[in-house]
Amino acid sequence: MSTASLHDRMATDMGITTISDEDIDATISRVTYSAIGEWIKASMYDNVKDDDSKVRGEIGATKNHITRKCGKILEAYLDLYPNLRNWYYPSPLNETFNPVTEIRKRQLAAGVLVSGLENSLQFPQKKCTQVADNLYLYRGDTFHKKSQIIGLGSYICRPDQVPVCSIEDMYLIPHLSAKAYVEQYIQKVSNKFIKSENPPETREYFDYHSTHAFSRSWKSSYPESKKLTIYKDSDWDYGLVRIDSGELYTLAFPKAVIETKDVRRFMYGIKKIEQNPVQATIKDTDSMIQITLPSYLPDFEQNLLYMMAWPKKDIMDRTEYISEKTLLPAIKKLLENLNIRVIIND
Can the peptide bond before residue 294 be classed as cis, meaning omega within 30 degrees of 0? Answer: no
What does the pLDDT look like over 52-61, one tens digit per residue? Answer: 444 444 556 8
C-alpha distance from residue 47 to each of 41, 42, 61, 85, 101 (Å): 12, 10, 5, 30, 19
User: Cβ(167)–Cβ(139) under 8 Å?
Assistant: no
Number of Cβ within 10 Å of residue 191's Cβ equals: 6
The per-residue pLDDT for 18 is: 82
**pLDDT higher than threshold 70 for residue 21:** yes
* Mean pLDDT for the stretch of residues 41-54: 66
Tell me the percentage of the chain whose pLDDT exceeds 90: 79
Q: What digits encode the pLDDT tens for the residues 278-317?
A: 999 999 988 899 999 999 999 999 999 999 999 999 999 9
Considering only CA atoms, which of 74, 209, 155 is closest in space to residue 327?
A: 155
228-234 long-range contacts, CB within 8 A, separation 24+:
228/186, 228/270, 229/205, 229/270, 230/205, 230/206, 230/263, 230/266, 230/267, 230/270, 231/199, 231/203, 231/204, 231/205, 231/206, 232/203, 232/204, 232/205, 232/206, 233/199, 233/200, 233/202, 233/203, 234/202
* Model pLDDT for residues 204-226, shown as the tens digit of each residue: 999 999 999 999 999 999 998 88
What pTM, to 2 d.p., does this model score?
Answer: 0.92
Q: Is the pLDDT of residue 273 over 50?
A: yes
Q: What pLDDT, on a 0 to 100 scale, did the predictor assign at position 57?
A: 47
Length of the chain: 346
**Tally of CA atoms within 13 A in the half-sphere of 193 that contains its CB:** 22
- Separation of alpha carbons 177 and 171, rounded Å: 15
pLDDT mean across residues, the chain: 91
3-state secondary structure the chain: CCHHHHHHHHHHHHCCCCCCCCCHHHHHHHHHHHHHHHHHHHHHHHCCCCCCCCCCCCCCEEHHHHHHHHHHHHHHHHHHCHHHHHHHCCCCCCCCCCHHHHHHHHHHHCCCCEECCCCEEECCCCEEEEEECCEEEEECCCCCCCCEEECCEEEECCCCCCCECCHHHHCCCCCCCHHHHHHHHHHHHCCCCEECCCCCCCCEEECCCCCCCHHHCEECCCCCCCCCEEEEEECCEEEEEEEECCEEEEEECCHHHHHCCCHHHHHHHHHHHCCCCCEEEEEEECCEEEEECCCCCCHHHHHHHHHHCEECCCCCCCCEEEEEHHHHHHHHHHHHCCCCEEEEEC
pLDDT value of position 56: 47
Q: Count the Cβ atoms, other than its own, within 10 Å of residue 117.
A: 12
Decide: 122 and 59 in contact? Cβ < 8 Å. yes
Tally Cβ neighbours within 10 Å of residue 187.
8
